[in-house]
Chain A
Amino acid sequence: MTIATPPSQTPEANLSLQPTGWLKYFSFSLDHKVIGLQYIVCGFLFYLIGGALAGVIRTELATPISDFVSRDTYNQVLTLHGTVMIFLWIVPVINGGFGNYLIPFYVGARDMAFPRLNAVAFWMIPPSGLLLISSYFIGGAAQSGWTAYPPLSITTPAMGQILWIVSVLLLGGSSIFGGINFIATILKFRQPGLKLMQMPMYCWAMLGTSILVVLATPVLAGTLILLSMDIVAHTGFFNPASGGNVVVYQHLFWFYSHPAVYIMVLPAFGLVSEILPIHARKPLFGYVTMVYSIMAIVVLGLVVWAHHMFTSGTPPWMRLFFTIATAFIAVPTGIKFFNWIATLWQGRLALNSAMLFSCAFILQFVFGGITGVALAQVPFDVHVHDTYFVVGHFHYIVYGGTVFVIFASIYHWFPKFTGRMLDEKLGRLHLALTFIGFNLCFAPQHWLGLNGMPRRVAEYDPQFTLINQISSVGALLMAISTLPFLFNVVISMVRGTPSGPNPWRALTPEWLTSSPPPVENWKGAAPLVHEPYGYGGPPGVMDLNQASGRDLWRNEP
């Protein structure tokens, strides 16, 4: 065990090293629960900034001419919006935030494998985020999109681009530290007696994600270092004027950035797999196939990057290979969705905010997945590549998918974080506003893309005005939807109904302790949970036609 205190030591001697009370959330705390919440709150602040940037974009697009911000500023805003939302909100929160909070519980450990590395990984995020945002005030932020394709990124003002590179490198480093930590914790800090195939699904999701992080992020780091040398030292890696090759950058960039999509959605899959069984009062359907499909997504996710480049100069055979590989990701992903629906089927569903946000996630991710399979087909992609169709598609994946799951998870684990329940009425209002606003904002964008509106433009053909205004209204609703959520969190922290240790009657180990949990996670020995999803009615209630009990899946009695 990592930082287990010998019983002879006085508590004061131990606590003097770490601040207590609210101050610990601003400290270099080594407690995985504190770090997890630091990630979540810090990420949420950046989400508000990224959301404000999205507001600027949607305001500009309410009219077909460029009239709200200058064209340079618009490109800076869209670059910052993408970078902030991906690297400072979704990746840190869904990996670092929930991963840190939950993984030690799930493997039965007192803390992560490397608590100091863990704190370092978190504390790299606020400075790099501030660096990124401050670049806007120091001579202008990067203007080349979050993809930073050369030669545009080489020819736009160097200061902003270099600051962008430095901050993404730091965030990537933080992500790698976190990934190593998760792999070590899951593989080496499991309680004796807890087998791999008995871990809660989120552990598998984080294991797969961390493998992707550790394999793919260094490629991005190397690429960005080469790009910065092209900018600062005038080397010619990607600069065609010096004999460089711009398409090589795209290959290297997407070698990280496609797996980055799975770095964002696999943990979301894991969290949904934790939430649904508890609120449906049923075991997770098809545990074994869920595990294999996560691993299949990890492997396939590494060999599909060139589908972002079907209109670049890629040879035909490559297009064919990447079409098939990409489309095949739909198979393991589909398995997971069918399994979740089967988990709901015949359950006793509590229609609370956590459950409803999860179901909204299922619907929206299915839509994003369908357009994803369509985009994998080269001829289809050739028409809609780099258009608002793609913008709609990936917002369905990363917002409709991941962000909805982040909210579901906050409703689900808030009682554990604070010992108080979130208000259900405000939660459902939040859900309704987000769901309507989100679909109003992003569904019409598919039509825009099909009919000729490219992405990343400040001005567009006036025939698209109405649809863009509808989309902007949706964005406004999404902005408003944050208010009931924030109000709910603040008011519930102070006045919420006390939840007790286990308000959901859940079986996973984080609920088998007080809320909020003590520093060492459990008073006394950690519980050994062999069946994290062992819900199910007494045999008399069971439908005998569904003759496929757990005996089929486990050899031991």
Chain B
Amino acid sequence: MRIPSAILTLVVGMALVLLGQWVANDVNLLPESASVNAPVYDELFRVLVAIGTMLLVGITGVVIYSLVRFRRQDGDSQDGPAIEGNLSLELFWTAIPAVVVLFLGIYSYDIYDRMGGMADLNGHGMAHQTELASVRHSEPDDENRIWGGIAPAKSSGDVIPVEVTALQFAFIFHYPEQNITSGELHVPTGQTVELRMKANDVIHAFWVPEFRIKQDIIPGQPTVLSFTARKAGDYPIVCAELCGPYHGGMRSHVVVDEPDAFSNWLEANTPATLS
């Protein structure tokens, strides 16, 4: 006796779901996660991988099955059945993807909000003026307007501002509070860092793969990027926007230290002042 196709379909479906879950959770496709944002990002990534794997393997399976099962024998010149459509089936496979992408959109909006992407960068109204450490004392005028980026989700008082200047082909980091200028970025774990970024010549982009963040640095349009490092280590900073012949060489490092080591670094590098 033949096994009913409904049962076979169910089993195949369950296998697909398990496969999707397995690939999403047990196959590591991402680099180390070293910022507070990164696990949030990885959560979204796992959902996308799970859905994507199920779809890809499922569709590939159906196409290969069709090619094998329905292949034409030599000398067979008959036609297949004259099926021109099936309205309910078509409605079904319109509705399901629509629901899935809508869910994904809302979910990724939530993720993005948790990452600080939806924050109001220029604080319309006084209540939000404290959100950005570096514009705390001034109304955003044309000079200080922030055009884009990721701001801290909540205003926390303890933000380390760093001014980033990108030019062909280097990043320069300036710590305004200590007046330190450096070619590599040093940050402590567990504390929000706010990069206030300006480009001198062409568009660059600041990317730390281990932090899962990227922001274009656009000449004439200051942008901001905040993150909180989570794990001590040395991570690459990569320019991700074509900026000229040495674009591939435009790299730097972000050194994440424990808070104590970071204070030592600050102290050791603070220039002596006349006072």
B261 within 8 A of A: no
Asked whether, in the complex, the Cβ of B238 is within 8 Å of the Cβ of A454, the reply is yes
Residue of B56, B60, B101, B109 contacting most chain A CB atoms (<10 Å): B101
B221: nearest residue on chain A (CB-CB)? A313
Q: How far is B89's CA from A319's CA once the two chains are assembled, in angstroms?
A: 33
Contact of A535 among B82, B90, B236, B248 (CB under 8 A): B82
Asked whether, in the complex, the Cβ of A349 is within 8 Å of the Cβ of B71, the reply is yes
B201 within 8 A of A: yes
- For chain A, residues 308 to 331, give those with C-beta under 8 angstroms from any C-beta of chain B: 311-316, 319-320, 323-324, 327-328, 330-331
Q: Chain A 337-348, CB within 8 Å of chain B: the 1/0 string?
A: 111011011111
Interface locus among B8-16, B44-52, B263-271: B44-52
Q: Which residues of the partner chain A approach B117 to less than 8 Å between Cβ atoms?
A: 316, 319, 378-379, 382
B180 within 8 A of A: no
Interface SS of B by simple majority: mixed
Asked whether, in the complex, the Cβ of A536 is within 8 Å of the Cβ of B82, the reply is yes
| Chain A: minimal CB distance from B155 (Å) | 17
Q: How far is B150's CA from A312's CA once the two chains are assembled, in angstroms?
A: 11
Q: Chain B 176-220, CB within 8 Å of chain A: the 1/0 string?
A: 000000000000000000000000011101010110111110111
- How many residues of chain B are within 8 Å of chain A by beta carbon? 86
| Chain B: minimal CB distance from A72 (Å) | 5
| Chain A: minimal CB distance from B100 (Å) | 8
Q: Which residues of the partner chain B approach A552 to less than 8 Å between Cβ atoms?
A: 84-85, 87
Q: Which residues of the partner chain B approach A459 to less than 8 Å between Cβ atoms?
A: 248-249
Asked whether, in the complex, the Cβ of A334 is within 8 Å of the Cβ of B249, the reply is no
A457 within 8 A of B: yes
Q: How far is B30's CA from A129's CA once the two chains are assembled, in angstroms?
A: 41
Q: How far is B150's CA from A379's CA once the two chains are assembled, in angstroms?
A: 10
Interface locus among B61-69, B132-140, B157-165: B61-69
| Chain B: minimal CB distance from A282 (Å) | 4
- For chain B, residues 68 to 83, give those with C-beta under 8 angstroms from any C-beta of chain A: 70-72, 76-83
- How many residues of chain A are within 8 Å of chain B by beta carbon? 105
Q: How far is B94's CA from A134's CA once the two chains are assembled, in angstroms?
A: 48
Contact of A362 among B52, B59, B214 (CB under 8 A): B59
Asked whether, in the complex, the Cβ of B209 is within 8 Å of the Cβ of A451, the reply is yes
A14 within 8 A of B: no
Asked whether, in the complex, the Cβ of B90 is within 8 Å of the Cβ of A289, the reply is yes
A541 within 8 A of B: yes
Asked whether, in the complex, the Cβ of B71 is within 8 Å of the Cβ of A319, the reply is no
| Chain A: minimal CB distance from B5 (Å) | 11
Residue of B44, B67, B83, B117 contacting most chain A CB atoms (<10 Å): B83
Asked whether, in the complex, the Cβ of A323 is within 8 Å of the Cβ of B108, the reply is yes
B17 within 8 A of A: no
Given contact pairs A75-B242, A331-B98, A377-B108, a sample of 19 additional A-B residue pairs in the complex whose CB atoms are under 8 Å apart: A155-B244, A156-B244, A244-B220, A247-B221, A311-B148, A312-B216, A313-B218, A316-B117, A323-B109, A341-B66, A346-B83, A363-B63, A373-B52, A379-B111, A382-B117, A386-B207, A541-B78, A546-B86, A548-B85
**17 contacting pairs across A/B (C-beta < 8 A):** A152-B244, A155-B244, A245-B220, A282-B81, A289-B94, A312-B148, A320-B109, A347-B70, A356-B67, A366-B60, A378-B112, A379-B40, A379-B111, A450-B30, A459-B248, A461-B236, A537-B82
